[in-house]
Amino acid sequence: MTALAAAVQRAETWLTAEKHSLYGISVTRMILGFVVWSQLAANWPDRHYTWGDGARWTSPVQAAKGWPGVFGLFGHASGRAFDVAYVAAILAGFALMLGVFSRVSAVVTLLLWMSLYVTNPFVGSGGDAVLRMVLLYLCFTDSGRIWSVDARRALGRQARKPVVPPWMSATLHNLALVLIIHQVVMVYVGSAFWKLQGPLWKDGTAVYFPLQTEAFSPWGDLLQPLITSAPFVVGGTYTALVVQLFFPVLLLYRPSRFLALIMITGMHLGIGLLMGILYFSLVMIAVDMILVSDRSWQHGLAGTRWVASYGRKKVLAWRVQLKKVGNS
């Protein structure tokens, strides 16, 4: 067998034999579901101005964007009908988070979220763009296999006859994972290439500027000493640039992958909290979680259980000790 044939064989086995990253994709599903429902709930008081009747003034621009008609639900809903659809979107996101009929929830969440998103062309962000693409790919994955209501229900039930052959389902799942991981890598690398063209990124001061604007410094007046300090500004700027640029390389080795994920998660949390764009950060963190291998999630889970069990034993021993002291 030639080397090429062996490589094709290995690729086919990887694609068809089993579904990969089941833990990671479950965490992604949970966080994305949370992002959808909690964000909509948080924006409930201003929903009509943001996406509803009060956003119709954007319709000349919206019509020119060319979104498919399948996303037209909220564009045609007004008043109470809009509110009912809005609540349905919240419930769909909640069901996705819990993993209730995960695949159906993913499809419904995608349709409702996108229908809402397209109604106002001036509300979207980079996080929304990632969310819509990953939600689409998520529909092809088995994201409810683990840590979901679906998984819990499947425990006490006989295995159902699959609708499509297992190899086909595995192929779609694994290819969707590839698409998601590639997309997140391109977000970081593409963004880093753009940053390299900017003088403020190269001289290490870029982080300072958005944090001085009214729109992206909700805590600017309170955190001025921190966000104007040179170590914070220069460290933040170069860390963002280097981690994003070398993200795909850092993924290749297990230790550097962990380092990259810790740094990029820290960066997202920093951006989210300091700039008031937490949902953008949560979407990126959700997608990054796919990059943690199933083995690492299992080790992490086992470690957490051990710590919890050790803690329980310690508390019990402490209580016994306390009782003895009390009796004596």
Partner 1 sequence: MLTGMRWLSGRIAFLTTVTALVVLHLVAVTFAAIPPNRFSDSVAPSTGYLEPYFAQNWRLFAPNPVAQDRTVRFQIAYRDDAGDVQNSDWIDWTAVELDLVRHRIVGGRAGYITNKMIGSLSSRYNGLNGEQRSIANIPTDENPLSWEQLESQLADAGVTPNRLNSFLLYERSIVRLGSDIAAGRYPDSEVVAVRYGIALQGVTPYAERGGTEAERQAARPNRTERLSGWRTPLAGSEAEREAVASFDTRHR
- Residues 24 and 294 sit within 8 Å (Cβ to Cβ): yes
Query: 129 vs 154, which CB is nearer to partner 1?
Result: 129
Query: 27 vs 40, which CB is nearer to partner 1?
Result: 40
| Residue in the structure block whose two tokens are 């914070």 | 232
Write down the least CB distance from residue 9 to partner 1, Å.
12
Question: Residue 249: CB partners within 8 Å, gap ≥ 6?
Answer: 256
Write down the least CB distance from residue 219 to partner 1, Å.
7
- Residues 186 and 244 sit within 8 Å (Cβ to Cβ): no
Distance CA 312, CA 176 (A): 41
Query: 26 vs 171, which CB is nearer to partner 1?
Result: 171
Write down the least CB distance from residue 165 to partner 1, Å.
8
DSSP state of 71: G
Query: 277 vs 290, which CB is nearer to partner 1?
Result: 277
Cα–chain-centroid distance for residue 126?
Answer: 12
Distance CA 224, CA 220 (A): 6
Write down the least CB distance from residue 159 to partner 1, Å.
22
Structure tokens, 55: 């956003």
Write down the least CB distance from residue 71 to partner 1, Å.
9
Write down the least CB distance from residue 163 to partner 1, Å.
15
- Residues 88 and 95 sit within 8 Å (Cβ to Cβ): no
Query: 61 vs 242, which CB is nearer to partner 1?
Result: 61
Query: 154 vs 245, which CB is nearer to partner 1?
Result: 245
What separation in angstroms does the CA of 14 have from each of 33, 107, 295?
A: 28, 26, 16
Query: 12 vs 18, which CB is nearer to partner 1?
Result: 12
Structure tokens, 47: 């929903």
Distance CA 63, CA 266 (A): 38
Write down the least CB distance from residue 253 to partner 1, Å.
22
Distance CA 45, CA 43 (A): 6
Distance CA 174, CA 296 (A): 18
